[in-house]
Structure 1
Amino acid sequence: MRILVTGAAGFIGSHLSHRLTERGDEVLGFDNLNNYYDPALKQARLDRLLPVPGFSFVKGALEDRGTLERAFANFRPQRVVNLAAQAGVRYSLENPHAYIDSNIVGFTNVLEACRHGGVEHLVYASSSSVYGANRKLPFAVEDSVDHPVSLYAATKKANELMAHTYSHLFGLPTTGLRFFTVYGPWGRPDMALFLFTKNILEGRPIDVFNHGHHSRDFTYVDDIVEGVIRTLDRVPGPDPTYDPLQPNPGSSSAPYRVYNIGNHQPVQLLRYIEVLEDCLGRKAERNLLPMQPGDVPDTEADVEALRRDTGYQPSTPIETGVARFVEWYRSYHGV
């Protein structure tokens, strides 16, 4: 298939692009290589992809409608995976306009391009952040997500609503994936595992928010990519069991689905740090801090719907995943 992947120089997008080309798909990557974090890391991911047969690349931002429309017109994708977005909860407190530009305006442009380009299926990144102030664990797609606690989360919830509108009005099959804390080689420098590893190796203290008592459904990137591909290959239709008198937020009478994609094995942050210390052979000096604005204490994914519909089965324990990350980090940074 011809598959357009936005955010192809990003963490998940680069891993996904490799997997798609390995199985014989033709992939067009689209990314603006912005400086939210070190563009050199994004370029390094891209440099690994550019020689790969079946991969091509266009540099552009989602909010640049002309560039995006030309990419669609020239490549004529059959399916689209939209992973490009302004990420990060804490940064949304500092620069809210970046989230509106990329996640709202940009996503509108993606939907329009898919609609007019006759795309068979749009898979797009949502986030576990949409669960916001919810406290019932595990988080399930059947739960209400009307209480976001960051603008980032609000834009991801908005993406799901926008996608449903296009599925309903124009018959565009869409699937939203609520990613739970993704980690692994080539990961993002603003994420805890990268920050912790860097500081421990440099002999500096690590900032441990909420005194380390919160838990996260850490999900290894290879498991995430497997779930994305299984979802991409399964074009949704109207849910025959959908009841408008008792609506299920995860499906619809339109060709629309939303799934959690996580590990379903939450780990306390203090345990995560212990595993990292074991892999590095060093102890961390911990700077214990209160919870940050916009953060939530715990996340846990109910992945039953994704397992039922696609056979998704995450299989990488944190001991394995963290060790692989540390091996990559030492190699990439020469430490």
Structure 2
Amino acid sequence: MHALVTGSAGFVGHALSRRLLAEGHRVTGFDGLSDYYDVDLKRARHRDLAQHERFAAVEARLETPGAVREVMEAGQPDIVFHLAAQAGVRYSLINPASYVDANLVGFANVLEAVRAHPVRHLMVASTSSAYGGDASVPFRETDRSVSPLTLYAASKLAGEAMAHSYAHLFSVPTTAFRFFTVYGPWGRPDMALFLFTRKILAGEPIEVFGEGAAERDFTYIDDLVDAIVRLADCVPPLPSQGGPVSDGDTLSKVAPYRLVNIGGGRPVRLDAMIEALEDALGRKAQRILKPLPPGDVIRTHASTELLESLVGQVPETSLETGIAAFVEWYRNYYPDA
């Protein structure tokens, strides 16, 4: 198949593109290479993908009028994996306009492009942050999500609603999937694992928010990509052509649309993650304990029942194995660290 992957120079987009190329598919990568974090790392990801002759990169921003539509018209992809977004919970307190541009205006452009050039399946990345401040644990896709704590979470929640409306109005088969704390090789420099690794190797103290008691449902990148690829084959049917696969299915009653968690369902305390990182690095961290910053939640915990009913398995890589793989990549990529 021919896949369009937006955000192909990002952490998840790069890993997904590698997987699709390895399976023999053709991939067009679309990325604006924003300077939210190290652009050199993003370019390195694209260079890695460019080793495959079936990969083509387009450098453009989602919010540029007509940019996505031109790529869709030229390539006529079979499936769209929409991963591009302005990410980051805390950064949304500093630069809210970037979230409106990329996550709302940019995504509207993607939806219009898919409307003009229909695809077999539109896959839309969302976030566990969409559950907000009043979710019970584990987070279930059927929970009512109406209290986002940051503009980032609000923009992704709005994206889910926008996608549902297009699925209903224009019969666009759509699956939105909520990530839970993704980590692994080629990861994001703004995430805790990357930050902690850099500081521990430099002999600098690390800031531990939530005083180490916060819990996260860590999801290893390869497990996440495997789930996305498997979900791509689970095309939501039109309301008249199929029903829910289980009691907890989120299949819409009025549109070919479904929302799915992708996480392991095994929350880990932040201090336990740090201990695993210390073991992998062979060094101890100097910790500065701090309270949770605005917008952060004390715990994330994915319900995996729907994911398992759809694809037969859930992320299972242990935190220790995943952190060791990240540390190996980090030391190879930054040999002077």
Output the TM-score relative to the length of structure 1: 0.96
Offset at residue 317 of structure 1 (A): 0.2
- Alignment-derived partner of residue 323 in structure 2: 322
- Alignment-derived partner of residue 301 in structure 1: 302
Q: Does residue 195 of structure 1 match 2:203? A: no
Q: What is the aligned length?
A: 331
Kindly provide the CA deviation profile for residues 88-126 of structure 1, in whole angstroms up to 9, marking residues without a partner as x. Answer: 000001111100000000000001101110111100110
- Alignment-derived partner of residue 258 in structure 2: 257
Structure 1 unaligned blocks of 5 or more: none
1-structure distance, mates of 2:203, 2:135: 36
2-structure distance, mates of 1:170, 1:136: 34
2-structure distance, mates of 1:133, 1:93: 17
- Alignment-derived partner of residue 333 in structure 2: 332
Q: Which amino acid aligns with 1:115?
A: R
1-structure distance, mates of 2:318, 2:149: 29
8 Å Cα contact 2:243-2:251 kept in structure 1? no
Offset at residue 251 of structure 1 (A): 2.1
1-structure distance, mates of 2:196, 2:308: 32
Offset at residue 53 of structure 1 (A): 2.3
Q: Which amino acid aligns with 1:85?
A: A
Offset at residue 235 of structure 1 (A): 1.1
Structure 2 unaligned blocks of 5 or more: none
- Alignment-derived partner of residue 140 in structure 2: 140
Please give the residue correspondences for 1:44-59 in structure 2 after superposition, counting only pairs within 5 Å: 44-59=44-59
Please give the residue correspondences for 1:211-230 in structure 2 after superposition, counting only pairs within 5 Å: 211-230=211-230
2-structure distance, mates of 1:127, 1:101: 18
1-structure distance, mates of 2:238, 2:272: 42
Q: Which amino acid aligns with 1:278?
A: D
2-structure distance, mates of 1:248, 1:324: 34
Q: Does residue 207 of structure 1 match 2:175? A: no
- Alignment-derived partner of residue 97 in structure 2: 97
2-structure distance, mates of 1:152, 1:249: 26
Farther off after superposition, 134-143 or 217-226: 134-143
Q: Percent identity?
A: 53
Please give the residue correspondences for 1:1-335 in structure 2 after superposition, counting only pairs within 5 Å: 1-238=1-238, 240-241=242-243, 250-253=250-253, 254-334=255-335, 335=337
Offset at residue 249 of structure 1 (A): 8.5
- SS of match in other structure, 1:57: strand
8 Å Cα contact 1:144-1:249 kept in structure 2? no
- SS of match in other structure, 1:77: coil
